[in-house]
């Protein structure tokens, strides 16, 4: 006890906690960094408020109306290609809705086509067949080094130079290719198709669950479950069952030539087709390079090791190559998707009614230039952020978990 008391006496009283003062906070690196960031954000917001207020004051002095109340006014113009009903008496807000749907329609189909074509070309560039590898390389170099606007105008010119409807190219009298676009036979609208689509989405989720269960069983005791047959049955059987329960509609609208054009079926305009080809074929060249570099980033030693333990070629790519390549492929591919959506504004050059084209008409008729440009910026930002969020979620789902 005496020894412990002596040691405590030598150490002295416990140190006092430092008093938090303004001078002490200023010498804190974390506090200064946070303070600088707050000041920068405040300066940006203050500048934006000043510029907006100054613009409103200047427009009011010149008798220019401001505000977003014009969105509820009658548009006074028609939109030739509208996925939802639209007339000139509808509001500017509904015109924006039509423009957004048109942009999403061409963007979604272009993303799907560009992804499929880009993956095929990226793998083909690594083929041991010299002809396939050289043709894929030629495609990438031609489309990647040609301005996208030139490509869009080129496809539009090609389509508009096709024969008129009376001399249309026919495929089994179910699809027709003319200078007015493509017309194909299409099922009549029915709610059963919506139920079948929802059932297909549910089957896809169930398929992912089955794949994970099968992988867990293989890791646990080496059993290989016949999940491929189950997944095929789900993806085909569940939508088919929903279609049957929904009434099994079988009516199909077949295009018929009446007068100078086709009536019925599903019609795709020359503007849509040209923009679809221009966007997808251009972006596919970049995705092909991304896929090629992602596959080449995986060490050859890992491929040789997988073959040494008896993995088949498809298992090698599915279990070894792709999980590691996706870490390289997904982030730049997401950037290409965002670029594709923004480049859809080039449709204004061929008259496709996307956001930029419709916004120009709204600016001309309403006179609300600042508000209309602001609306357009918000629309493009929202779509880009949505794509980035989805791709980030997918990137986290496919990334290799460290254990």
Can you spell out the DSSP letters for 82-120? Answer: -SS---TTSBHHHHHHHHHHHHHHHHHHHHHHHHHHHHH
Name the percent of the chain lying above pLDDT 70.
87
pTM of the prediction? 0.77
What pLDDT is recorded for position 222? 66
Nearest-angstrom CA–CA distance, 25 and 29 = 8
pLDDT level of residue 176 (50, 70, 90 thresholds): confident
Q: CB burial class (10 A; 0-12, 13-18, 19+) of residue 138?
A: exposed
Tokens, residue 101: 């749907």
Query: Across residues 200-228, what is the average pLDDT?
Result: 76
Nearest-angstrom CA–CA distance, 169 and 177 = 5
pLDDT level of residue 77 (50, 70, 90 thresholds): confident
Element of type H or E holding 149: helix 148-160
Nearest-angstrom CA–CA distance, 233 and 186 = 25
pLDDT level of residue 14 (50, 70, 90 thresholds): low
Has domain 92-188+251-398 been given CATH number 3.40.190.10? Answer: no
Backbone angles phi, psi at 256, to 5 degrees: -130, 135
What pLDDT is recorded for position 401? 59
Taking only the tens place, the pLDDT of each residue in 311-368 is 776 677 777 777 778 888 888 899 999 999 999 999 899 888 899 999 998 888 887 7
* 8 A C-beta contact, residue 274 and residue 350: yes
Kindly tell me if the per-residue pLDDT of 39 is higher than 70. yes
Kindly tell me if the per-residue pLDDT of 170 is higher than 50. yes
For the ranges 16-25, 32-41, 56-65, 241-250, the lowest mean pLDDT is seen at: 16-25
* 8 A C-beta contact, residue 232 and residue 239: no
Taking only the tens place, the pLDDT of each residue in 239-285 is 888 888 888 787 777 888 787 777 777 888 899 999 999 999 999 99
């Amino acid at each position: 006890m005496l020894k412990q008391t002596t040691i405590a006496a030598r150490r002295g009283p416990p140190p006092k906690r430092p008093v938090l003062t303004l001078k002490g906070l200023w010498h804190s690196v974390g506090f200064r960094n946070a303070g600088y960031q707050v000041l920068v954000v405040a300066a940006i917001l203050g500048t934006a408020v000043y510029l907006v207020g100054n613009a409103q004051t200047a427009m009011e002095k010149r008798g220019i109306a401001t505000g977003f109340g014009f969105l509820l006014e009658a548009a006074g113009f028609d939109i030739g290609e509208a996925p939802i009903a639209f007339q000139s008496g509808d509001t500017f807000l509904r015109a924006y809705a039509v423009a957004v749907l048109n942009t999403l329609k061409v963007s979604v189909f272009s993303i799907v086509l560009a992804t499929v074509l880009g993956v095929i070309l990226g793998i083909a560039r690594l083929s041991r067949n010299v002809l396939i590898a050289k043709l894929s390389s030629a495609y990438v170099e031609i489309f990647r080094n040609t301005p996208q606007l030139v490509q869009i105008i080129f496809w539009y010119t090609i389509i508009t130079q096709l024969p008129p409807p009376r001399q249309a190219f026919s495929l089994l009298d179910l699809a027709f290719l003319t200078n007015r676009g493509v017309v194909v036979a299409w099922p009549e609208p029915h709610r059963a198709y919506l139920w079948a689509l929802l059932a297909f989405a549910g089957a896809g989720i169930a398929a992912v669950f089955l794949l994970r269960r099968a992988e867990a069983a293989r890791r646990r005791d080496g059993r290989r479950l016949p999940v491929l047959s189950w997944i095929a049955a789900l993806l085909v059987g569940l939508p088919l069952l929903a279609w049957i329960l929904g009434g099994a509609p079988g009516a199909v609208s077949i295009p018929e030539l009446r007068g100078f054009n086709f009536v019925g079926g599903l019609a795709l305009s020359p503007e849509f087709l040209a923009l679809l080809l221009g966007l997808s074929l251009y972006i596919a060249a970049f995705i092909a390079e991304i896929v090629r570099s992602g596959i080449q980033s995986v060490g050859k030693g890992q491929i040789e090791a997988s073959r040494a333990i008896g993995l088949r070629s498809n298992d090698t790519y599915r279990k070894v190559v792709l999980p590691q390549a996706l870490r390289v492929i997904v982030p730049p591919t997401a950037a290409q998707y965002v670029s594709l959506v923004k480049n859809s504004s080039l449709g204004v050059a061929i008259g496709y009614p996307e956001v930029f084209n419709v916004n120009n008409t709204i600016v001309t008729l309403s006179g609300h230039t600042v508000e209309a440009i602001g609306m357009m910026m918000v629309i493009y930002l929202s779509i880009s952020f949505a794509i980035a969020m989805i791709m980030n979620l997918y990137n986290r789902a496919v990334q290799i978990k460290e254990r």
